[in-house]
């Protein structure tokens, strides 16, 4: 069996704001994170970056090293296990995806959902679909143990639908695949969700959502539109919050690129890209292609700026969020989901906070 190390050192700020608080290999796309995909496909523990590898027990075999932003496919890993794991061959594979920009997380999510659905469900039996659920293509729907769903609509004709362990879909919700509701997550009554959408673990969603990825422990619990968007962990979108995902001119959307300190072309459609621990007030209107850093508290009238830095307090005349208050507010939000703010998280946030002051 091979040893695999995922190297994130070259990626830097190219996947900002999501790599502010995690390795690229821990980005969720499809149902699983990149690291989880490798581990599931290979049946081994995967380490990230050279330092982590040095601290991990291993034998004398030379590890196989791949970039942490490469999303593996089942077909490539089959070749990898046969010994055909040239990095150059990997990059030429049409069956893999490489995350070079943050908007590619939602752009590649359809492909990733289909890959993960087969990976997680092959050879397994779904829990029965309750008789009150209206469904199309039931063979393309998989329900894990403990999931609860009644009087909702599941249309898997355009792509698979995966309902994770202990997840819940409340009555009146309408969902079109490809779609994943991860462990412990919930869809509220009357929600309308279009593929390709992933709702990460222990997140709560409602309103209208299309082609979006929510990493985990976040809330978009009320009415409002979220489309072509990526939301990090521990975020909260106030009631009525909506993002624009296409310009009135239908011209290309330009978004803030932290690595180059300029705006770059993201294609015709791009909504909100929000980093971890950020929140917004009720009825916030996010401009097309808005990028939000980590731990921003967003409020104000009219459309938001296209770029909202980390630890911003407000948008019209923003000031810097007090670090101590930011930690207390995060602690309060984590208590709502029975979680605690760890020392590792505090250190990471402190590093981000110090970097914006310099």
Domain boundaries, the chain: 4-100, 120-357
C-alpha to C-alpha distance for 237 and 212, rounded to whole angstroms: 14
C-alpha to C-alpha distance for 284 and 58, rounded to whole angstroms: 50
The pLDDT, as a whole number, for residue 84 is: 61
Across 93-117, average pLDDT: 93
Name the band, by pLDDT with cuts 50, 70 and 90, for residue 53.
Answer: very low
Provide the 3-class DSSP secondary structure of residue 344. Answer: helix
Name the band, by pLDDT with cuts 50, 70 and 90, for residue 59.
Answer: low
Between 50 and 188, the higher pLDDT residue: 188
Across 68-73, average pLDDT: 92
User: Using N-to-C axis directions, what is the helix angle for 34-42 and 74-81, rounded to 10°?
Assistant: 50
pTM for the complete prediction? 0.93
Q: Encode pLDDT of 179-188 as tens digits.
A: 999 999 999 9
**DSSP secondary structure, 57-110, as one string:** ---SSPPEEEETTEE--HHHHHHHHTT---HHHHHH-TT-EE--STTHHHHTHH
What is the three-state SS of 124-174?
Answer: CCCCCCCCCCEEECHHHEEECCCCEECCCEEECCCCCEEECCCCEECCCCE
C-alpha to C-alpha distance for 235 and 306, rounded to whole angstroms: 18
Mean confidence (pLDDT) of the chain: 92
Q: Is residue 125's pLDDT more than 80?
A: yes
Between 82 and 355, the higher pLDDT residue: 355
Name the band, by pLDDT with cuts 50, 70 and 90, for residue 60.
Answer: low
Name the band, by pLDDT with cuts 50, 70 and 90, for residue 189.
Answer: very high
Name the band, by pLDDT with cuts 50, 70 and 90, for residue 9.
Answer: confident
Name the band, by pLDDT with cuts 50, 70 and 90, for residue 111.
Answer: very high
Non-local CB neighbours of 8 within 8 Å, separated by 6+ positions:
19, 23, 24, 25, 48, 49, 67, 68, 69
C-alpha to C-alpha distance for 184 and 166, rounded to whole angstroms: 5
For the sheet with 64-67, list strands across it: 47-48, 4-7, 64-67
Q: Is residue 61's pLDDT more than 70?
A: no
Name the band, by pLDDT with cuts 50, 70 and 90, for residue 72.
Answer: very high
Q: How many C-beta neighbours within 10 Å does residue 284 have?
A: 24
C-alpha to C-alpha distance for 278 and 234, rounded to whole angstroms: 7
- Sign of the alpha-carbon dihedral angle for 43, 47, 50, 53: negative
The pLDDT, as a whole number, for residue 94 is: 65
Q: Any bridge partners for residue 227, and if so which? A: 210
Q: Encode pLDDT of 200-245 as tens digits.
A: 999 999 999 999 999 999 999 999 999 999 999 999 999 999 999 9
* Of 35-49, 144-158, 264-278, minimum mean pLDDT range: 35-49
- Sign of the alpha-carbon dihedral angle for 165, 216, 210, 228: negative
User: Thinking of the domain 120-357, which architecture would CATH place it in?
Assistant: 3 Solenoid (2.160)
Q: Encode pLDDT of 266-314 as tens digits.
A: 999 999 999 999 999 999 999 999 999 999 999 999 999 999 999 999 9
How many CA atoms lie within 13 Å of 249's alpha carbon, on the beta-carbon side? 5
The answer to whether the peptide bond before residue 248 is cis (omega within 30 degrees of 0) is: no
Question: Strand 213-216 to strand 197-199: parallel, antiparallel, or no bridges (unpaired)?
Answer: parallel
């Amino acid at each position: 069996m091979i040893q695999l190390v995922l190297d994130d050192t070259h990626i830097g700020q190219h996947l900002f704001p999501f790599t502010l608080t995690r390795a690229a290999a821990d980005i969720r796309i499809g149902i699983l994170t990149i690291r989880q995909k490798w581990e599931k496909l290979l049946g081994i523990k995967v380490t990230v970056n050279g330092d982590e590898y040095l601290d991990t027990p291993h034998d004398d075999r030379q590890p196989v090293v791949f970039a942490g932003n490469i999303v593996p496919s089942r077909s490539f890993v089959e070749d990898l296990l046969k010994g055909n794991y040239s990095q150059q061959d990997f990059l030429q594979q049409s069956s893999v995806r490489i995350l070079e920009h943050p908007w590619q997380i939602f752009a590649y999510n359809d492909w990733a959902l289909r890959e993960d659905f087969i990976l997680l469900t092959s050879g397994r039996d779904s829990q029965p679909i309750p008789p009150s659920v209206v469904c199309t293509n039931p063979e393309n729907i998989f329900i894990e143990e403990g999931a609860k769903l009644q009087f909702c609509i599941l249309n898997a004709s355009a792509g698979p639908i995966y309902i994770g362990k202990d997840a819940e879909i409340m009555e009146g919700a309408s969902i079109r695949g490809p779609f994943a509701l991860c462990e412990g997550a919930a869809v509220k009554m009357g929600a309308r969700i279009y593929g390709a959408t992933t709702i990460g673990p222990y997140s709560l969603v409602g309103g209208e959502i299309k082609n979006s990825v929510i990493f985990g422990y976040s809330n978009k619990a009320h009415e409002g539109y979220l489309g072509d968007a990526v939301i990090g962990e521990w975020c909260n979108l106030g009631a009525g919050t909506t993002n624009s995902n296409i310009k009135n001119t239908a011209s290309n959307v330009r978004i803030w690129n932290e690595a180059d300190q300029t705006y770059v072309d993201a294609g015709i459609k791009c909504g909100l890209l929000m980093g971890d621990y950020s929140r917004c007030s009720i009825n916030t209107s996010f401009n097309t292609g808005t990028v939000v850093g980590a731990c921003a508290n967003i409020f104000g009238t009219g459309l938001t700026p296209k770029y909202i830095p980390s630890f911003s307090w407000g948008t019209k005349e923003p000031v810097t969020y007090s670090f101590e208050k930011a930690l207390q507010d995060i602690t309060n939000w984590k208590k709502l989901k029975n979680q605690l703010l760890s020392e590792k998280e505090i250190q990471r946030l402190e590093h981000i906070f110090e970097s914006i002051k310099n």
